[in-house]
Structure 1
Amino acid sequence: MDFDLSEEQSILKDALDRLLADKYGFEERNRILKSDAGWSAAIWRHYAEMGLMALPFAEEDGGIGGGAVESMIVMESLGRVLALEPYFATVILGGGFLRLGGSTEQRAEWVPQIAEGALKLAFAHTERDARFDLNHVETTARKDGGSYVLSGAKSVVLHGDCADRLVVTARTAGGPREEGGVGVFLVDANADGVSRRGYATQDGLRAAEITLDAVEVPAETVFGDPENGLPLVRHVVDQAIAALCAEAVGVMSAMHALTVDYMKVRKQFGVPIGSFQALQHKAVDMFVALEQARSMTMFATMMADETDAAERARAMHAAKAEIGRGGRLTGENAVQIHGGVGMTMEYAVGHYFKRMTMIDVAFGNSDHHLRQLARAGGLFADTAA
């Protein structure tokens, strides 16, 4: 199997890497981090001009027609510089609902706005008692004539404080943990009854607590079947996990490179610490973890569009479990080898480890996915029976 990038994909990667190298040094990131928004509108415009916003959408909808591989390339590059902009929230998560569940009319209205960088989306799904269970939805959607009335609360909504529209899950029928009865709605973030409390997360990104108090939304804002939206949610989340794995590869590669460079210049007992065999072994362990993560990310990327939900889920469980394990090992070794400086806010490696930790817990940590994979019978289902 050929894993080499095509010419167009290589051009995309090189162009994005050049942009980020020019615009996203560590000091520049710190300046952006301290700004009121917590991300750069100027760099967001650069993304739009490069076509990154339009990348995964079909050409007939106003996009470029890229796929999971192109998303992998972008997310790895963004992870390598710890980009702060709401690309994942808008294009991968919010855009995923438009691509996979949006009607022709919905795509025609919203995709061009995303492609221009004019529309930011956020996925408002997690609730306080849900842990990692996607089917746990207590927010309600009551039918009222030609509209729905949404009430409830959502937690840790990534970039929910700056989003123009919220993709909200709400229960139209059934109990809080039932598989059926979940609808997906596109809600104006500034509508009457929507309140948001934004805050910075541990890795420097932004999130929000969102309360919906009898928010009225038109029926045409529903994605697909209002009583059977959970399969759509699971598919979008699976694709998001593949994208997060790609971002993690970027984060891990940066931690490994920083650590190896540090080992070459930091001296102890008059010699570079890279000459110590014990530290060489740790660096090798980091490299092995990185390459394993890269392989599992490629696997997850190839499975992101799999129509068999069970097969797709097994792939994502396996990839996320491996990414979490390898990322933790890489981060721990990176900080330990750097010593005290690795714990400071003024040095990059600690920021990478924070982001890696947040990637691990997003949509289920490594332990959760390992358990789910075991319950599913392993990565390859037994079909002998």
Structure 2
Amino acid sequence: MTASAPSFAQSVWLVAEREIGSKLRSKAFVISTGILFVIALAGVVWGGFAAQQDMRTPVAVTGQTAQIVAPLDGMLDITEVGSAEEARELVRDGEVDAALIPGGEGGFDFTVVGDDAVPSTLMSALSVSPPVELLQTESDDADGLMRYIISLLFGAVFLMAATTFGSTISQSVVEEKATRVVELLISAVPTRALLAGKVIGNTVLAMGQIIGLAAVAVVGLTVTGQAELLSGLGAPLVWFAVFFLFGFILLASLFAAAAAMVSRQEDIGSTTTPLTLLVMVPYFVAIFFNDNPTIMTIMSYVPFSAPVGMPVRIFFGDAQWWEPLLSLVILLATCVGAIWVGAKIYENSILRMGARVHLKEALKG
């Protein structure tokens, strides 16, 4: 009695299992993933500790000079002592960078004491300056820096994952085609099942990395006591994972289809370069235009940049509750269309050897 042929779903899972297994058995993949997690954790922890460091200048004062630096408490770490000699002793021991003691010359009623130098920040703070009106507050500067960091974070993760796994899928497709292994595979499973398995297998691996990076971020932020930032990142991280999932499926289908149009590894770039550019654009837009609300809004609705643009807008409260849902619907519709086109190109090109298959021919079949 002959065994029945596997169903389409079983065929897809067999191919996906093969893709996942081959990657997990690759030392290069495991090591690079481990290094990525270590770098991410080190970056989060370092950033947290750097943010918590006290950047104020340590200064010793006496009871008579305390009122002079009282308005500068945000810039100075003030230690009050009982006498001028005690203040000098703290300077000698290196416990403070400078001291303000009573008595002075040239119209001053105090003297600044230093060891081998006096901190420029202290001298600048004590200098007489004209009134200054700032149009941009310190909180605005901090918000701009945070916007840049968050945009860079989401953009870099999407760029690295999409280009890494996109390249992996492309090389795998061309390698199987060049060695004619694909002919054996297609004799066992349907062509579309082979494509679907490749996409699903690599999507599982990519999502595993994203979830791992999210876990690393949570651990790092928890260890460094950044609870406020962690609570703010919760919803944006979830939305990023959802958008990344469907955005990656879209790109993976197109990368596999583009690679099926060539028969040699050196020709992969000729068909996948436009896709690589589509992945790189959100990264650079997020860097250079993160503070432009119009561009970021447009970016959050374009399928190839929505996985970066929408989570950034959610993090800063710039998106209405319905906007992520609408953007996700647009992404899903585009994803379905890309899978249909990609499957058609893949099916019509995978067994054609020799010269590059032109897009028009691949679509016609």
How high is the TM-score relative to the length of structure 1?
Answer: 0.27
Higher relative contact order (CA 8 A, sep 6+): 2
The structure in which a higher percent of residues are strand is 1
* Structure 2 length-normalised TM: 0.28
Give 1 or 2: higher helix fraction: 2
